[in-house]
Chain A
Amino acid sequence: MTEITSVKITNNLQEIAKVISEIEKCSAEIPLSFEEENALELSLDELLTNIISYGYADSETHEINIDMYLEDNSRGDGNAIVLKITDDGVEFNPLKKKEVNIDIPLEDKQIGGLGIHLVKRLMNELFYERADNKNILTIKKELNSIKEN
C-alpha cells in the first residue's frame, strides 16, 4: 500500500473543497477515469459533510484527516484507491445506519440517509473502527484500468 496524499481539514463545510481539489490533482497521475473520480469525490463529500454537520457535541474547531493510498485490487490485475477518514467526533458508525428504502413512492420517501446509501453503492468496501476516541472509516474503490507492467 503506497500513500499518495494526506490532507488535513477543519470541521467547516467550506473545507471539503480542499479535499476535492487534492483528489482532482492526483487524478491524472493515478490515473482515475472521470466516473471513478466523481465516485471518490462524492463519497468523501458525503462522509465529511456528515462528520462536520453531526459529529461534534461542542462548537470547537476539530481536525479531520484524510489519507489516500494506492494498493493492488482484489483481482491482482490493477489498482484500488483506499481512503481513510479519521475524526475525533462523537462515536458514529455510518455502516450501522438503517438502509434507506429507495423503491418507495414519493410521499413516503425519506429526506435523509441518502448520502451513506450513495457511498455504499459507489465504493467496493467500507470498514469502520473506533480507536483512541477516534472514528476511522476506510473506504475502497477498485479501479478499472489494468496495470501496464
Chain B
Amino acid sequence: MEITTEKKSNLTLINLKGKLDSVTSPQFEDALMRLIDEESYNFIFNCVELDYISSAGLRVLLIGAKKVKVKNGKIKLANLKKHIREVFEIAGFTAIFELYESLEEAESSFK
C-alpha cells in the first residue's frame, strides 16, 4: 500500500496505490485522521492504482466520511476500477460517496 497526498487550495488529493485490507488499512486510517486533524475536510481519493479493497478499507472511508461531514466537508472518489466499484455497490457505498470517472470531474465538483 502506498499513500501519497497533495494539498491543493480547496481540497486534499490522496492517491491510493495497491491493496486496502486489514493489514494496510490502519496506515491509511492514521494518514487520513492526521489530515482531518490538520483541518482538511474536502478530499478526493484517486483510486486509479487501487487494486483491492476489503471491509477494513471501507471502514476507514466510512469513519472519514462521518468525521468530515460534521465539518461540512466531503470525501469524493475518482477512477475506481470496475471490481472495486462493484464492492462499493454491494456495500451500499455508492449512495454515500460521489464517484467520478476522472480527477478533473471530481475536482470541478468542489468548485
A positions within 8 Å CB-CB of B: 13-14, 16-17, 34-35, 38, 41-42, 45-46, 49, 53, 102-104, 106-107, 109, 111-112, 114-115, 117-118, 121-122
- Identify which of A49, A104, A122 contacts B56 (C-beta below 8 A): A49
**17 new A-B pairs (CB below 8 Å) besides A102-B92, A111-B63, A115-B55?**
A13-B23, A16-B23, A41-B52, A42-B54, A46-B54, A46-B55, A49-B21, A53-B22, A102-B90, A103-B95, A104-B92, A106-B96, A107-B66, A109-B62, A114-B58, A117-B90, A118-B54
Contact B55 A118 (CB under 8 A): yes
- B65–A45 contact, CB under 8 A? no
Contacts of A46 in B (CB 8 A): 54-55
Are B96 and A45 closer than 8 Å at their CB atoms?
no
Interface residues on B, range: 20 to 34
Are B92 and A103 within 8 A (Cβ)?
Answer: yes
Could you give, for residues 12-26 of chain B, a 1 whenever the CB lies within 8 Å of some chain A CB and a 0 otherwise? 000000000111000
Inter-chain contacts of A34 with B (CB < 8 A): 83
The answer to whether A106 and B66 have CB atoms under 8 Å apart is: yes
Cβ contact within 8 Å between B55 and A106: no
> CA–CA, A100 to B56, complex, Å?
15
B98 to chain A, nearest CB (A): 12
- What are the residues of chain B within 8 A of A45 when measuring CB–CB? 21-22, 54
